Amino acid sequence: MAPLRPSSLMDGISEAASIKQNNLVYELQADGADIITLSLGEAFFDIPAPAFEELTPAVHHYSHTRGVPLLRQKLAKYHEMTAGTPADPDREIMVTAGSKSGTFMTLAAILEPGDEVIIPEPLWVSYPDQVRLCRGVPVTLPWHATVDDIAARITPRTRAIIVNNPHNPTGRRLSDGELRTLHALVDAHGLLLIADEVYSEFVPDDEPFRSAAALDPDKRHTVICNSMSKNFGISGWRVGYVIAHESLIRQLAKLQQHLVTCAPTILCQYLAEHFEDILARTRPQIREVVRRRNRVAEAFAARGVTSMPGDSTFYLFPSLGSSRLDSTEFAAELLRRYRVSTVAGVSYGASCDRFLRVSVGAEPEERILRGVTAICDLIDETGTGGHG
């Protein structure tokens, strides 16, 4: 058998830490283990299983590269209502196989080898490797940097800044001022602002979500990557979308044609026909999960464990305080000793090794609080003066 010789590019690529952790959980569960799963990057909702009988017959087949037209129309309307600025369903929207492929194709469409992309930490695990896969160079900023610090990292090779808003793993939302600063920077330096807004619905009651799209209505320098995975609670359907200037959408369409042809037609058609119903079902459940998130933050605080500031999404990023374990050791020990699965903070950037990512989307509150107790106990046991 000829030995597999991966390209040198693959040497620099790691597994996505959160997905790797969840694969481990699936395997442990298959062996009968009861794992409190605070590592899943999604919220589970009560939504009806899809029934495909009523869909028009052609749904077994490929669809338009840019997506089923009715879904693009629904997305355009949704975007206008939530972001406050229009998008042309025939020129400025492409439905993708999850938002992940949207960010990847955007990077692939703009980067020359050696081009730099600025990514503030905590960063979503796939951004740096997606940049590397496009032969670019991720330029990260430590978690305590502010948007004002980004300017100092811009070089002649910089092509884009990626932000995730609201933010996985902290739950933070960018303020209007921060969004204005980012737009001013990309405008002044001829860069692209890639705004990953997959958690756009996950904001607290009475807190409107501010899309980066609102400050660039002509889409001169902004790409919005969004998804049905989280907001509609259907991560396994693999349906996302990109909203951008038509000149970029044309490039992304070429990539999509060569990669996946189109997003899954039958699911997109179902989604288009049930768009408002699904949203009406998920929205109250989203409100509840955000409230739960903030109750869990209080439970950590009551034990003296502080989390990075944030009030949105279903994630928290608590500090490991005085534990002498690094985040990888801590997450492994937590799983081994307490059967609680989380993701090591270091997966979100080298500066984040004193944190742990906790997701509250997939377990009942009582089990989450047991997980919180286990985390706080392990911090105490492994802390200075601890006995673990």
Where on the chain is the footprint of ligand PMP (CB under 6 A)? 41, 98-100, 124, 164, 168, 196, 198, 227, 229, 235, 240
**160 vs 325 by CB, closer to ligand PMP:** 160
Q: Are 40 and 359 in contact (CB under 8 A)?
A: yes
Q: Provide, rounded to whole angstroms, the least separation between the CB of residue 124 and ligand PMP.
A: 4
The beta strand positions in 92-246, using DSSP E, are: 93-96, 116-120, 137-141, 158-164, 192-196, 222-227, 240-243
**104 vs 330 by CB, closer to ligand PMP:** 104
Q: Provide, rounded to whole angstroms, the least separation between the CB of residue 82 and ligand PMP.
A: 16
**106 vs 229 by CB, closer to ligand PMP:** 229
**Nearest alpha carbon to residue 365 among 318, 307, 299:** 299
Q: Residue 173 in 3-state DSSP?
A: coil
Q: Provide, rounded to whole angstroms, the least separation between the CB of residue 373 and ligand PMP.
A: 26
Q: Provide, rounded to whole angstroms, the least separation between the CB of residue 153 and ligand PMP.
A: 21
**225 vs 340 by CB, closer to ligand PMP:** 225
Q: Provide, rounded to whole angstroms, the least separation between the CB of residue 352 and ligand PMP.
A: 14
Q: Provide, rounded to whole angstroms, the least separation between the CB of residue 123 and ligand PMP.
A: 9
**98 vs 371 by CB, closer to ligand PMP:** 98
Tokens at residue 285, please?
Answer: 């459940």
Q: How far apart are CA 117 and CA 242, in angstroms?
A: 18
* Closest chain position to ligand PMP (CB): 98
Q: Provide, rounded to whole angstroms, the least separation between the CB of residue 8 and ligand PMP.
A: 27
Burial of 314 (0-12, 13-18, 19+ CB in 10 A): buried
266: Cβ contacts below 8 Å, ≥ 6 apart: 52, 55, 59, 60
Pairing mode of beta strands 356-359, 343-344: antiparallel
**Nearest alpha carbon to residue 35 among 307, 357, 318, 370:** 370
**169 vs 318 by CB, closer to ligand PMP:** 169
**230 vs 374 by CB, closer to ligand PMP:** 230
In degrees and rounded to multiples of 5, residue 370 shows phi and psi of -65, -40
